[in-house]
Amino acid sequence: MIDRRKFLAASAAATVLGAAPALAHKRGEAYVLPEEYMPREVRIRAEFEPGIVIVDPNQYALYWTMEDQRAIRYTVGIGRGNLYHDGEFYVGRKVEWPDWRPTPDMLERNPDGFSQFLEGGIYEGIPQPGGINNPLGARGLYLFNVRSRRDTYLRIHGTNNPRTIGVAVSNGCARLINPQVEELYARVPMGTRVILYPKAGAGPAHSEV
């Protein structure tokens, strides 16, 4: 089980960690990603080895750890409500401009919202091709279960909608704007350890992996 208190202590030791971001623009207005949402280098505690991905949903932050107790901090969008899943995973697949299809859980929660994927009420399984309008954006890091070695359907991926950064909006995945996910994708090799820390006040949908 992940020790959230240990991670929060490490977060407090970082040189730059502000309050959780929030949207400051109304729909219909031109949106510019706030400067504080841009990647920046921070200090981390020594117990975090270089070369891992850490997500702190309570700060809407993703860290790529490096040598000398340094990390690059990205601002991300995370899973809404109880759809965020904490645990330890690894990158089992990397895809440029990935295709996308709703998971069975997504179809069960919102069949009307994904009706274009159904034929006579039956899921056809035909994916939406990769591209700028695809929900996974420019890059996808596929998270696999460390025990079963199977795909969890959790992703760290891109988006062309910057309004969804710094908020809990997704179906469980962590998202970055496309230029930032392209940068992260280039840094993160296959097999990388990924730690998704618990969300404060989360319900039973969380998993312990």
> What is the set of active-site residues?
157, 173
What are the structure tokens assigned to 181, written together? 């996910």
Helix (H) or strand (E) segment spanning residue 105: helix 104-109
Distance from C-alpha of 195 to C-alpha of 90, rounded to nearest angstrom? 8
Distance from C-alpha of 136 to C-alpha of 100, rounded to nearest angstrom? 7
Distance from C-alpha of 125 to C-alpha of 104, rounded to nearest angstrom? 10
**With contact defined as beta carbons under 8 Å apart, do 138 and 95 qualify?**
no
